Chains A and B, each alone.
Chain A
Amino acid sequence: MVVDHSQKSIDAAAVSKMRKWIAVMKQNHNEVNVDTNLIKEGILDSLEMVSFILYVEELRCQEIPEALIQPQYFASLRVISDTFFSDDG
């Protein structure tokens, strides 16, 4: 099922923290916007993504189910916000 993430409001606090985490991880990288594709645009590689997943779990105070550890759920900060920080996530 294709989810239209554009209609949902994002969790601004979570997005801000994730954006800052990425900026620190990439050191001199410019901040990403909410719709930057983190994988396709090479923002995070496979190793960095594992650390990022753990960070998202830390923000949620909850482990992410294995079924959701898939590229499509971590495509952008907006998608991550919708999937893991919305009332439905």
Chain B
Amino acid sequence: MSEEQTLTDLLRRLCDLSVEHAYDPFREFEWPDSLPDQGFWMSAELLSCHGTRHMDALTEQQLWKLSRCELVNFFSFNVHGIRDLMLRVLSCIHNPGFEVPSEYFHHFLDEENKHMWFFAEFCNRYGGKIYLNKSMQFDSFEQEDIQTFLAFAKILISEEISDYYNVYMMQDSTLPPVVQKLNYVHHQDEKRHIAMGRRVVRMLHDDIVGKYPEEVNRRIDSYLRRYMDFFVQSLYNPSAYRDAGLPDPYEWRNNLISDPAREGFHGRVLRKPMRFFRSQDLLQSTA
């Protein structure tokens, strides 16, 4: 069976699954009037200070408050990321080169729109805000095919990392039920998106492999690695630290990001995307 037929079959299955598991987000969730101030909203093990002496220095109340802000930050980051990825997919759908995945892209866009809504709804209802997007959109590569490859690679990386958090929180019964459910529902859809994303990224990489000088390939490699680090570092948000009442939020961020105790967590969060990109020769084996 040809690679294209395999891809076609996969996309057909994903479309069928999307239809079978379609839901109305406006009716799917029960939104309590408020969430408890006592207890965690984000699993303690996912907090950006977990495992460090900085966490040990916080009281239980401070940790609960931090977990509220960090969950809103995580969902906010998803809101902004979804916007960017929807814009990218919209620019590709039914355009040359994307004939095969376009039908599934409709399901993808539908589901991502739902995700954007329910994450934003949570942030606004219980956090009173969506944290700001500090990124600017400008291309780091002139070549359009590289830009497209990197855009979908970044989408895949984002989904893989977010999924780590989703899987963890959906199984944490100490969290508010609505938090568990949001993470669960997102994970169910993202399984399919990741499956699609891996094939599309491979397809787009095939278009650029061998086409450019080694120096360009090294820059692409560097950009992907830095994007993975960037995503992880975005979860250390000084605005969230400020809202949690922590002093010197920027110093807090700098200290946490560079704390050796955080390296293990970063490695776990990045393991799946790194493994995929290396196994497909999308990243060099050594940094």
| Chain A residues engaging chain B, CB cutoff 8 angstroms | 39, 42, 45-51, 53-54, 57-58, 63-64, 66, 69-71, 74
- Return chain A residues, CB-CB under 8 Å to B132: 63, 66, 69
Bound together, the chains give a CA A48 to CA B227 distance in angstroms of 10
* CB of B212 within 8 Å of the partner chain: no
Contact: B238 with A57, CB < 8 Å?
Answer: yes
For chain B, what secondary structure do more than half of its interface residues adopt (helix, strand, loop), or is it mixed?
Answer: helix
Bound together, the chains give a CA A45 to CA B226 distance in angstroms of 11
* 16 cross-chain CB contacts under 8 A: A39-B138, A45-B223, A46-B139, A47-B223, A49-B135, A49-B136, A50-B134, A50-B135, A50-B234, A51-B230, A51-B233, A54-B250, A58-B250, A69-B134, A69-B136, A74-B136
Minimal beta-carbon separation of A56 from chain B (angstroms) = 10
Report, nearest first, the 5 A-B pairs whose CB atoms are least far apart.
A58-B250, A45-B140, A47-B230, A66-B132, A53-B134
Bound together, the chains give a CA A54 to CA B140 distance in angstroms of 19
Closest to A65 in B: B132
Given A46-B136, A50-B234, A66-B132, 18 more A-B residue pairs with CB atoms under 8 Å apart are A39-B138, A45-B140, A46-B139, A47-B223, A47-B226, A47-B227, A48-B226, A49-B136, A51-B230, A53-B134, A54-B238, A54-B250, A57-B238, A63-B132, A63-B239, A64-B134, A66-B133, A69-B134
- Return chain B residues, CB-CB under 8 Å to A53: 134
Contact: A46 with B250, CB < 8 Å?
Answer: no
Bound together, the chains give a CA A65 to CA B242 distance in angstroms of 15
- Return chain A residues, CB-CB under 8 Å to B230: 47, 50-51
Bound together, the chains give a CA A74 to CA B140 distance in angstroms of 16
- Return chain B residues, CB-CB under 8 Å to A74: 136
Given contacts A47-B223, A54-B238, A57-B238, contact A71 B136 (CB under 8 A): yes
Bound together, the chains give a CA A54 to CA B233 distance in angstroms of 11
- Return chain B residues, CB-CB under 8 Å to A54: 134, 238, 250, 253
Minimal beta-carbon separation of A89 from chain B (angstroms) = 17
- Return chain A residues, CB-CB under 8 Å to B138: 39, 46, 71
- Return chain B residues, CB-CB under 8 Å to A39: 138
Q: Which of B134, B137, B233, B239 has the most chain A CB within a 10 Å cutoff?
A: B134
Closest to B227 in A: A47
- Return chain A residues, CB-CB under 8 Å to B136: 46, 49-50, 69-71, 74
Closest to A48 in B: B226
